Structure formats: C-alpha cells, structure tokens
Amino acid sequence: MNRLKIILALALLAGATEAIAAPSYYSRFIGSWQAVDPEDGSLQNLTISRTDNGTVQLLVHDSYFALCDGDLGLGRGTGVVTNSKTLTFPDYALTCFTSGTTKEGPTTFTLQPDGALKRVLAPPSPSITYYRISR
C-alpha cells in the first residue's frame, strides 16, 4: 500500500513539474516596454497584459503621434501569441484625443534574440524596437 502511495505521489509530482516547466509564450511579452520612434524621436510606452480569456491587451502611449498630427492619443488592441516569438493584434486602433478620429489596422510584434520587441510597420515607416522596462 505504501509503495502505491509513493508511486502515485511521484506521478503527481512529475506531472506538476512538467506543467510548471512548460513554456509560457505569453510571459515573454507581458510587461512595460519603451522605444524611441525613429521617425520623430518621440518616446513610446507600450504595456502588454494578459487577460482572463487567454488573450493579451495592448496599450500604446506616444508623446507625439504623427498619425494624430502631433496630438496625443492612445493605441489599443487585443491580441494573441501566434507562435513562440510573434504577437499579433488584428484589431489595433489608435484614437486621437483632440480630433477623436480613430485609425485602425493590424499590428505585429516579434521577439528578438536579444529580448527586445520589434514592431514592423507598413512601408515606408521603419520598424520600432522596444525594450522591456518592467514585467
């Protein structure tokens, strides 16, 4: 009987260890990130947080949104990790505060080997590289 208890305990422990060791692709993206916009030199702050339904929420603040004619705005979207290194927000939208206009379009972020997060924008805009400042 004790032998059976030991075997069951070891089996449960092995299963728990495997679950803990399983990679969490979301955790690679979760946190606060910053970048300098290569086009206008403005500071961009990006926050990615996990939701209860298995998606992630994105908030983007920029000190100068060119798409808002220099006005402040807020970018937001709900996304999913499409593979271990790519995070996609199909419903990304930027809302300009003064004019109230909204610009919509999907956006994608790719995790780089050095841990940075690269956002590839539509040409002719250059990509933007974000660096994590907190988890």
Count structural domains, the chain. 1
**CATH code, 87:** 2.40.128.20
Q: What's the mean pLDDT in 81-102?
A: 90
Whether 62 maps to a domain, the answer reads: yes
Residue 48: domain span = 25-134
Q: Which residues contact 97 (CB under 8 A, 6 or more apart)?
A: 68, 71, 72, 73, 74
Q: What's the mean pLDDT in 2-26?
A: 39
19 pLDDT exceeds 80? no
Whether 20 maps to a domain, the answer reads: no
The pLDDT tens digits of the residues spanning 21-36 come to 223 678 889 999 999 9
Whether 16 maps to a domain, the answer reads: no
* Extended beta strands in 90-127, E state: 93-96, 102-104, 107-111, 117-120
pLDDT, position 124: 66
Q: What is the pTM of this model?
A: 0.76
Whether 8 maps to a domain, the answer reads: no
